[in-house]
Amino acid sequence: MKHNYSPMKTRYLLSLVVLFSAITGVKSQDQNYSQFFNNNIYYNPAYAGLYNGVRTSVNYRNQWTNLPYDFKSYNVAVDMSARSLPGAGGLGLIIHHNNEGEGMINNLYAGLVLATRIHPSEDYAIQFGITTAICQKKIDWDGLVFPDQLDGKYGNIFSTNFTEPYRSDVIYPDFNFGTVLNYNSEGMNARIGGSVHHIFQPKIGFVNAESQLYMKFVAHADAVIYINKGSTDKWKKGGRSDIARINPGILYENQNGANAFSLGLNAYKSYIYLGLWYRNEDINTTNLNSMVFLAGVNLPINEDSRIKIMYSYDYIMNKLIATGGTHEISVIFEFSNENVFGAISGKGKKKNWGTIPCATF
């Protein structure tokens, strides 16, 4: 006889995985984004206010689309420059949410970002940033299916004798620290930096109080190279001309012994973005985990402001290929030449070395 509760079996197996994770404290890792270059302060708080004016980014990631359950992530961040305050770089706000399984475990992260700025010369700027966040990890015990709920013919029809633990959520503080060096010259803008996440390794277990969120170390570097160097004068004075450019970059992450490298290149011409990146556990181009294909558009609002929309697709190339690809969308609003604090205080026209432009690719 053919039974009709195979979805219940799948849900039961998923419940076992979720329950095992909750009880044993399986080591949790941070959500990654393929478009990390559009998620600056998520990876390094020192980026807050690095660009002049106000920058808002909204990111959506739908991972492993062939699986019957959701693995979705959302990230919203706002940061602004604060050049008129001595030693200030900028401030920002970041909110991140992702779910695991069929929404049975949800993670919410809300943080305030502060950055300070050192300007050793006209072409160099160094920023240090810190994120102070409040986080919630929540589990839906009612969404789990246990063996005593299943009937061999009709599936999930019984109540369970499972006793829920005394807590269904964990609330904890979290702190990240980072630094970034920005170099600006005619024809090129480059950045190199690093950050440490979960500095105090907070406890995150529902049942096992010893379960913790391990530190994550991030290192990154990229450069925006202008193809027509003679055309950069207008941009360096604050203008936004349609200059062809390329943006090679690399991102390295390490968390609890797990490594991840992202290496690739974006290109821009005639308001169109194209990119190709690869992601792997090491810098090895012969055995790739995934390739990332990117396309986007730059929509100028005026000379100083714009909207960027980018879409990327992760093509899985390892043993997880059956899980399907991953879709990611980013929408970025930039008001590049507006120094908010200077405008409010009436000091916006005051000469300030802090107004060095940063080439937001």
Q: Would you write out the chain's pLDDT as a tens digit for each of its 361 residues?
A: 444 445 544 444 444 444 545 544 455 678 899 999 999 999 999 999 998 889 999 999 998 777 766 788 999 999 998 877 778 889 999 999 998 756 678 899 999 999 999 988 888 999 999 999 999 998 876 666 555 555 455 555 545 555 556 567 889 999 999 999 999 988 889 999 999 999 999 988 777 667 789 999 999 999 999 887 554 444 444 444 568 899 999 999 999 988 999 999 999 998 999 999 999 887 766 677 889 999 999 999 887 789 999 999 999 887 666 667 899 999 999 986 554 444 444 444 444 444 444 555 6
**How do strand 150-151 and strand 54-62 relate by DSSP bridges?**
unpaired
Could you tell me if residue 292 is inside a domain?
A: no
Could you tell me if residue 323 is inside a domain?
A: no
Asked if 299 contacts 287 with a C-beta cutoff of 8 angstroms, the reply is: no
Could you tell me if residue 290 is inside a domain?
A: no
Could you tell me if residue 185 is inside a domain?
A: yes
pLDDT at 237: 40
Could you tell me if residue 314 is inside a domain?
A: no
pLDDT at 15: 47
Structural domain for 50, as ranges:
6-227+240-257+335-355
Could you tell me if residue 136 is inside a domain?
A: yes
Domains in the chain: how many in total?
Answer: 1
Could you tell me if residue 327 is inside a domain?
A: no
Could you tell me if residue 350 is inside a domain?
A: yes
Q: Rounded to an integer, what distance in angstroms lies between the CA atom of residue 347 and that of residue 344?
A: 8
Predicted TM-score (pTM) of the model is 0.81
